Structure 1
Amino acid sequence: MKRLVREALSPNHNARPPGADIELVVVHFTGMETAAAALRELTQLGSGVSAHWMIDEDGTIYRLVPEDRRAWHAGLGSWHDWHDVNAVSVGIELVNPGHDHGYRSFPDDQIDALEDLLADTFKFHGLRPRDLIGHSDVAPERKQDPGELFPWERLARTGFSIWPEEVVEYPDGGLGVMDDAEDFIRDEESRSEFGLDSISLRESVLELQENLRTIGYGIEINGIFGSQTEAVVAAFQRRFRPGAVNGYADSETRALIQAVAQISQ
């Protein structure tokens, strides 16, 4: 990487567990009003947070934590069988005010710098496009970053992410939160709204959850479309169907989930 990299070392890191390889790159937005405020938070002793890298909107790259150390960026969450995501990942913070301070698109200079950084990181650690994920993928019930404006499709075109190419929509209806799953499944009016009988409804939810688990989401497979499944569907939409993030698994969303599951195996 030929870009100028500035050092702003953070004290907030510890050793990776013995034998832990880097398997993932997790992308975040800083979610603070300014780059200076974000850099201060990420490098302040006692803040409890850090990342390996921070990229400003003008493309300036800051190295905060050496990649052989465990930075504190992902928090509680999981991806596939990794429940300590910090132990197996590189964390990259992109300067962006986030949803609380005027969320906006990521400038080309910033994404160009991200692609340069990813090229080095992927090559050094032997990573694949499916190994780049967002913070909301790891923790869908509590995080939304890098958000619906992050250019996942562009990164897929440059070889750093995955994106479904051909999608066939499901012929039947969508799936949404059940206030009381058992009553919902028994209730004829609710079932007819979805175009499903009670057995096929549960099977459809199970299939949805299994596909989401195949992609990597930490989701309970129980056949009930509850609040956790809604949050995971919303996280998926934020990445693969950003035009409509509502947590409702309509036929297009279900087809996209199946398509992404197929390329994630």
Structure 2
Amino acid sequence: MKALVAVKRVVDANVKVRVKADKTGVDLTNVKMSINPFCEIAVEEAVRLKEKGAVTEIIVVSVGPQAAQEQIRSALALGADRGILVQTDDEVGALEVAKILKGIVDQEKPEVILLGKQAIDDDSNQVGQMLAALMGAGQGTFASEVKVDGGKVQVTREVDGGLQTVELALPAIITTDLRLNEPRYAALPNIMKARKKPLDTKSPSDYGVATGTKLKTILVESPADRKAGVQVKSVDELVEKLKNEAKVI
């Protein structure tokens, strides 16, 4: 059984981003880039499924610039078997990424497709759902537990009212949430081995997809500085401030 895992190159979660002077986007000069944290959870879950014998091969895919090879190599060091970089320097929208992944799924025929539930740069939370629609396949989003059994997979997912478990026929799309697992650190020997694992380079046109996005960024601004809080001496004073100063009640 094959597992396909999509990963995205994003600014490292521990880096404080800087807005460009012209406010057209985020300044990426000399900024550390990493695998999107939710995508890293997806890689870890695929590796765990392989360790359990449910998966025999893990393919990692990324859409982005040549530098995204670094994130694919990181996933290979964590236990993936081979990588595919769909290389483009153009901006690519969520629907276009989903179409590229659909093309790869058609070629590779994976039974399990794992994605992070969202990327921390745009927080779109769209690619997994769009891919499921394009494939006409079942989806389990916001997964906190995954169990593969034969030709089916059970996904426990987080919903507003608690937890919901759905059973999906394979192939199925699963988007991972924070509580699913704790990603491992790559050991040095595995990092060295990852350099020799196969990594193919493709282009969006190989899958009949034109790059671009239907979204236009108008303005990017840093969040406003938070004001210092105040201490109150009684509940009555708290209610008074909430009512007359904050005007939230």
Q: TM-score range by the shorter chain?
A: under 0.3
In terms of fraction of residues, the more helix-rich structure is 1
Structure 2-normalised TM-score? 0.24
In terms of fraction of residues, the more strand-rich structure is 2
Structure 1-normalised TM-score? 0.23
